[in-house]
Chains A and B, each alone.
Chain A
């Protein structure tokens, strides 16, 4: 058993960290104020080839695994970019995996290179206002009319839809009444986000202001049949394929957010002097920080374990869910502690840790609540009866 990163993985981590140094806390503080999309980071990562990390080499990517992607996403978040940096490219890294796995050669040649080059951005339309994790009940309809589909309906929490050129969309092609199993009859599309037929409304939210979250309304969006990924009616199955990698990446991002908060808190604890000694000399300050480090490191190891399982082709469900839970909680706790360690200063924006705290709620809540992870582990790992 070898827990060390390979030299190549270390190079990736160091290269990403170095690239992110160009975008310092002042940059992210400004984006938190003006809400502008971090195009500069997106373009810099594209220019150095990092957006194609998990895309096969024949389509211009590097063909690496989710392990390397997780290492990269942790490095981005840990640079202080937190979720604002990670979410700006998250979709590029693994979002198009259904296209990679189920798309035709023609589709891959058409869809993947512009994304890798940073010429196009894309978003992911799955969640609906009335159907959160109960995905099979989603109501957005795509009706077949000749050589195209016409889409009507609504999505919510679609990240980056303000700036995206393309959307990966899950919609019902056969009504629930017409299918044997409710997981059937959903289809997956990767198509142009035609803003004459789609309205995108930004949701004002607690953190990650730079990367927009939206409500998306479809009013007769036409999708050519060649933009359908795989077979009609099997979209849910295709989407499920990407669930574990997404949890793994989110976990890595949460660890990164927690780690940078811990770095800031530790530095402050060493430097801030009260009653003639650094506050970090007090066990009341240092013990919680030590605990944060242990929890973050444990979450990181679980994340790497899940990534390793996934890349070997083993079932990563339990590990990926556990990693996302542990990292979400540890990241949030470390950010809270970082604010508390700074005392009053922690509440001031210019000390940055309050921004980290606001962003740390995202990997805690998304893409699945901590409670549902507990349900999953109870049911699938411990064999307890389903509770909902």
Chain B
């Protein structure tokens, strides 16, 4: 790995860019979408401390998954993909999340219905089973879900499938049978070239998801959704992690206003004792 001196890391020798992005052969893109508490909702912890309140709360598609759907639709519009399959795993209402993806432009859906609390490893195993059946050229996931912030499913899935992964992607370009991904890392941007099939997880700046248009909302109603159970995929979804306790973050103490720099320095030295 080398740096070009501007915080940009180049992992491998870059291939010459082709003039036009072309698909080698018909390629499917699989996009897992998670149903989470809407980002506008102020989350409340359940009184018994077992989790957060979801009853009667507005639920939406995980925002990073919306970015994943958008990227898949853009790749299809450019001719780099032929079919987009939206997959959701969880309770029956996840069907609504799939419909949202279908309204954005996905072609069909798969719902893996389960009332069990699905954890990243179980989800990754089920996605692996679906990938083996559907043979997608690309799987695009959100980098994390905004409910549990695990940021694990994409990486686990790449490991289980033995595919290359481009996580925290902020730009994706497909060139023939490989793909260039610019990743957002602590020091700046890292460019990696992956062979397809591959896994991408989306960062915030990859794209701005589109609004569902009315004709597409109408079309989504007619697109097919297959429903199955974890057992159909040969996966035992029983949780392996135990949640010990969920609680509200400690209330932030009010700050203090200081009148002058001298007072600030005095307080930092004698009260906060940090200088």
B196 at the interface (CB under 8 A from A): no
Write out the residue numbers on chain B whose beta carbons fall within 8 Å of the beta carbon of A47: 213
B99 touches A48 (CB 8 A): no
Q: Does B188 contact A (CB under 8 A)?
A: no
Which residues in chain B, 84-126, are within 8 Å of chain A measured between CB atoms? 95-96, 99-100, 103
The reply to whether the CB of B24 lies closer than 8 angstroms to some CB of chain A is no
Chain A positions 1-57 with a Cβ under 8 Å from a chain B Cβ: 7-8, 10-12, 14-15, 18-19, 47-50, 52-53
Complexed CA–CA distance, A52 and B95 (Å): 27
Partner of A48, one of B60, B214, B220: B214
Q: What are 19 residue pairs bridging A and B, where the CB atoms are less than 8 Å apart in the complex?
A: A7-B96, A8-B218, A8-B220, A8-B221, A11-B99, A11-B212, A11-B220, A12-B214, A14-B60, A15-B103, A47-B213, A48-B211, A48-B212, A49-B214, A50-B214, A53-B214, A62-B214, A62-B215, A64-B218
Contacts of A48 in B (CB 8 A): 211-214
B93 CB, min distance to chain A CBs, angstroms: 9
Q: Which residues of A are found within 8 Å of B100, using beta-carbon distances? A: 11
**A18 close to B211 (CB less than 8 A):** yes
Query: From residue B251, how far is it (CB to closest CB) to chain A in Å?
Result: 16
Q: Shortest Cβ distance from B256 into chain A, in angstroms?
A: 18
Q: How far is the CA of A19 from the CA of B214 in the complex (A)?
A: 12
**At the interface, yes or no: B217 with Cβ under 8 Å from chain A?**
yes
**Taking CB as reference atom, which chain B residue is nearest A21?**
B211
A15 touching B213, Cβ below 8 Å: yes
Q: Are B218 and A62 in contact (CB under 8 A)?
A: yes
Q: Which residues of B have CB within 8 Å of A49?
A: 213-216
Residues of A within 8 A of B99 (CB): 7-8, 11
With A7-B99, A10-B96: A15-B214 Cβ-Cβ less than 8 Å: yes
Contact B96 A15 (CB under 8 A): no
* A120, chain B: closest CB distance, angstroms: 18
**Chain B: interface residue total (CB-CB under 8 A):** 16
| A47-B95 Cα distance, complex, nearest whole Å | 27
B213 / chain A contacts, CB cutoff of 8 Å: 15, 47-50
B residues within 8 A CB of A8?
A: 99, 217-218, 220-221
List the A residue with the shortest CB-CB distance to B100. A11
- The CA of A14 and the CA of B217, in the complex, are separated in Å by 11
B151, chain A: closest CB distance, angstroms: 26
Task: For A7, list chain B residues within 8 Å (CB).
Answer: 95-96, 99
Nearest CB in chain A: distance from B216 CB, A: 8
B residues near A62, Cβ cutoff 8 Å: 214-215, 218
Minimum CB–CB distance for B103 against chain A, Å: 6
Contact of B211 among A19, A52, A53, A64 (CB under 8 A): A19
Residues in A neighbouring B96, C-beta threshold 8 A = 7, 10
- CB contacts (< 8 Å) of A15 on chain B: these are 103, 211-214, 217
Neighbouring B residues of A18 by C-beta, 8 Å: 211
Q: In the complex, which of the residues B60, B100, B212, B216 has the most CB atoms of chain A within 10 Å of its own CB atom?
A: B212
The smallest C-beta distance from A242 to any residue of chain B, in angstroms, reads 21
| Contact residues in A for B221 (Cβ distance below 8 Å) | 8
B220 CB contacts on chain A under 8 angstroms = 8, 11
Known: A11-B103, A15-B212, A49-B215. 13 other contacts (CB 8 A): A7-B95, A8-B217, A8-B218, A8-B220, A11-B99, A12-B217, A14-B60, A15-B211, A15-B213, A15-B217, A47-B213, A48-B214, A50-B213
- Nearest residue (CB) in A for B213 is A48
CA of A19 to CA of B217 in the docked complex: distance in angstroms? 14
For A47, give the chain B residue with the smallest CB separation: B213
Which residues of A have CB within 8 Å of B214?
12, 15, 48-50, 52-53, 62
Kindly report which residue of chain A lies nearest to residue B214, judged by CB atoms: A49
In the assembled complex, the Cα of A12 lies from the Cα of B215 at a distance in Å of 10
The complex places the Cα of A11 from the Cα of B212 at a distance, in Å, of 8
Contacts of A19 in B (CB 8 A): 211
Tell me the minimal C-beta distance from A95 to chain B in angstroms.
Answer: 18
Chain B minimum-CB-distance residue to A68: B214
Q: Which residue of B lies closest to A22 (CB)?
A: B211
Cα A15 to Cα B216 with chains together (Å): 11
